[in-house]
Amino acid sequence: MCVTENMERLALGIDLGGTKILTAIISARGEILSRDYRATPVQEGPDGVVKAIVDSANVVLGQAGIAITDIEAVGIGAPGISNPDTGSILTSPNLPGWCNVPLRDMVADKLDIKCFLVNDANAAALGELSFGAGRGAHNFIYVTLSTGIGGGIVVDGRVYSGATGFAGEIGHMTIDDDGPLCNCGNKGCWEALASGSALETEARRWVEEGATTTILACAGGELDKVTARVVQVAAEQGDELAQKLIARTGRYVGVGLANLINIFNPELIVIGGGLSNMGDVLLKPAFKEAEERAYKASWQAVRFARAELGADSGVLGAAVFAFREGS
């Protein structure tokens, strides 16, 4: 299929994660023309990951029947602390051993095209702003509740990246100064208390201490298979401990939401990520807690929406970033 006859603007979006690479050819209207999904070879280091990205890009170009010269630019959404100005990933818990990796330039050299780097959560926020639940909003916050907690802050229609490109690490605001250790090295981060991994850790602790619960049975009797999803299944089957653990996680979600509302006074908070798929059992106590803690006027001004783009939010947002920065 040739897609260049009508001279439509095209970008190549790349959503790089610790476990997967999603690559797609995307039009300026947000239409995904082709896509490729593959595992991230993290054990092969930056060179191996870049090779996988380039191979994936060539696959989607072939699927769409176009050449790299038909692409306006490439946008790469990547996890961790990155600097969009230099195009480097400074550090990333999801990409072990990565330190000051010039990912943008490495990919640009291989594909011989302009490339741009953006934080993955900021990319997801851009995707929802342009084509999803954030359409029409000028000031909103995208929150992803998943294995960890990430976010993107949109101010006056643009993602706020801060003085050095590190803004939006909302999962690492301190909720409890004496709380559990977070992967970032801090104690009591929102992510360490309200994420899927936090729920998993707390459930395993209760099981190990001999609590009366069906959680372990739902995991096939194997403690290392107790996940947030397993806790959800146990809760749906009426397990009292599982229900309490999810409600506890929800309350911590609410504390973080209240902080965001009080600091930014957003018109909209878009919530995505796998943990949010628990729905009301998690979000009802979250919203109750947030309402109790937020300024009344700010609470009344904000509305909540579920993310609309699912797993495509990051790759779409990466393409939008490429369009914006490349024009």
Residue 2 lies in a domain: no
Question: Do 164 and 113 have their domain in common?
Answer: no
Tell me the residue range of the domain where 50 lies. 10-127+312-326
CB atoms under 10 Å from CB of 303, counted, come to 12
Question: Do 191 and 282 have their domain in common?
Answer: yes
Question: Do 164 and 112 have their domain in common?
Answer: no
User: CA-CA distance, 302 to 295, in Å (whole number)?
Assistant: 11
Question: Do 142 and 286 have their domain in common?
Answer: yes
Question: Do 220 and 246 have their domain in common?
Answer: yes
Q: At 13, list the tokens.
A: 């979006």
DSSP 266: -
What's residue 7's pLDDT?
Answer: 64
What's residue 21's pLDDT?
Answer: 96
* Residue 58 exposed, middle or buried by CB count within 10 Å (0-12, 13-18, 19+): middle
User: CA-CA distance, 133 to 89, in Å (whole number)?
Assistant: 28
Residue 3 lies in a domain: no
Partnered with residue 269 across adjacent β-strands are 141, 304
The residue written with tokens 């090295």 in the block is: 185
Total count of residues recorded for the chain: 327
Question: Do 177 and 321 have their domain in common?
Answer: no
Residue 199 lies in a domain: yes
Residue 4 lies in a domain: no
Average pLDDT over residues 295-312: 95
Measure CA 61 to chain center. 25
pLDDT at 316 over 90: yes
pTM passes above 0.75: yes
pLDDT at 5 over 70: no
What would you report as the CA-atom Rg of the chain, rounded to the nearest whole angstrom?
A: 20
Question: Do 95 and 117 have their domain in common?
Answer: yes
Residue 140 lies in a domain: yes
Does residue 229 sit in helix, strand or coil? helix
Q: Show the CA angle centred on residue 172, arms to residues 178 and 187, nearest 5°.
A: 20
Per-residue pLDDT tens over the stretch 280-295: 999 999 999 999 999 9
Residue 1 lies in a domain: no
> How many C-alpha atoms does 187 have within 13 Å on its Cβ side?
5
Question: Do 169 and 237 have their domain in common?
Answer: yes
Question: Do 21 and 90 have their domain in common?
Answer: yes
What's residue 232's pLDDT?
Answer: 97
Per-residue pLDDT tens over the stretch 83-117: 888 999 998 878 989 999 999 999 999 999 999 99
Q: Which CATH number characterizes residue 104's domain?
A: 3.30.420.40
**% pLDDT > 90, the chain:** 84
Question: Do 175 and 256 have their domain in common?
Answer: yes
Residue 80 lies in a domain: yes
What's residue 3's pLDDT?
Answer: 43
Does residue 177 sit in helix, strand or coil? coil
Residue 37 lies in a domain: yes
Q: At 156, list the tokens.
A: 């006056």
CB atoms under 10 Å from CB of 279, counted, come to 10
C-alpha distances out from residue 125 to 120, 134, 241, 271, Å? 9, 8, 34, 10
Question: Do 19 and 146 have their domain in common?
Answer: no
Question: Do 89 and 122 have their domain in common?
Answer: yes
Q: Total domain count for the chain?
A: 2
pLDDT classification of 6: cutoffs 50, 70, 90: low
- Greater pLDDT, 310 or 60: 60
